[in-house]
């Protein structure tokens, strides 16, 4: 059994989607970051960085924080969504790192400055919106010849989807990125994705 510590954010939904995709039984522990529950001593013992998500595998006694590490762990545990052939494996890992180092931080900053900042800072909004649209272009090009980011559905898609799926909330459109739009529509039809997006 897996214990999942999470909240309703794109990073949190990566883990719940993955758990649904690999069909592992799990318990959900809601960590309400709006109430700063991530800073409780009990949660810091699980994740010293006070972020969600985190998992604890009761079977192995292993606790993992950072969403990318969680996806790799669950993929290796189940043998799903991460190829074993070296070339394909590293293609998936590089696109996973692209999400971790690019998609998440840039989209997250745009979300913050558009929705949650205490003051409107046009420079910040312009900067992060421009970078978000550039990343849309990178993904759109990659998806021109691939049904999913690396050809077959993988942890790269699991990691990236929850961040792209919030485009309307950010006041953006995918109309100029038809391949990316097609990919979003395809991924969102997966039953495991639908279930994972509703956790917690």
pLDDT in tens, 129-173: 999 999 999 999 999 999 999 999 999 999 999 999 999 999 999
Q: Which of 103, 109, 138, 91 shows the shortest CA–CA distance to 14?
A: 103
Do the domains at 2-81 and 86-195 have one common CATH topology?
no
Q: Which of 5, 11, 99 shows the shortest CA–CA distance to 46?
A: 5
Confidence band of 180 (pLDDT split at 50, 70, 90) = very high
Mean pLDDT for the chain overall = 98
pLDDT at 194: 98
pLDDT at 30: 98
Q: What ranges do the domains of the chain cover?
A: 2-81, 86-195
The burial class, CB within 10 Å (0-12 / 13-18 / 19+), for 8 is middle
- The CATH H-level superfamily of 2-81 is Glutaredoxin (3.40.30.10)
Residue found under tokens 């039953």: 191
pLDDT in tens, 61-111: 999 999 999 999 999 999 999 999 999 999 999 999 999 999 999 999 999
Write out the two tokens for 65.
């924080």
Kindly report the pTM of this predicted structure: 0.96
> Looking at residues 44-71, what average pLDDT do you find?
98
Domain made up of 86-195: CATH architecture: Up-down Bundle (1.20)
- Helix residue spans in 23-174 (DSSP H): 41-44, 67-78, 86-98, 104-111, 122-142, 155-164
Confidence band of 21 (pLDDT split at 50, 70, 90) = very high
pLDDT in tens, 143-155: 999 999 999 999 9
């Amino acid at each position: 059994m897996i214990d999942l510590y999470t909240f309703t954010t794109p990073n949190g939904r990566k883990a719940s989607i993955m758990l649904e995709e690999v069909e592992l039984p799990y318990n959900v522990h809601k960590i309400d970051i709006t109430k700063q529950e991530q800073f409780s001593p009990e949660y810091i013992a699980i994740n010293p960085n006070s972020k969600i998500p985190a998992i604890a595998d009761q079977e192995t006694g292993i606790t993992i924080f950072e969403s990318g590490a969680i996806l790799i762990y669950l993929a290796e545990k189940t043998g799903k969504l991460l190829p074993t052939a070296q070339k394909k494996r590293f293609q998936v890992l590089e696109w996973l790192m692209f999400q971790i180092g690019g998609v998440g931080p840039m989209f997250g900053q745009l979300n913050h400055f558009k929705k949650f900042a205490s003051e409107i800072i046009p420079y910040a909004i312009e900067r992060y919106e421009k970078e978000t649209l550039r990343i849309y272009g990178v993904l759109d090009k990659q998806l021109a010849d691939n049904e999913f980011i690396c050809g077959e559905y993988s942890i790269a898609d699991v990691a990236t989807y929850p961040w792209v799926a919030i485009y309307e909330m950010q006041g953006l459109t995918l109309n100029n990125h038809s391949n990316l739009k097609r990919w979003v529509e395809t991924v969102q039809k997966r039953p495991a994705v639908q279930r994972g997006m509703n956790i917690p």
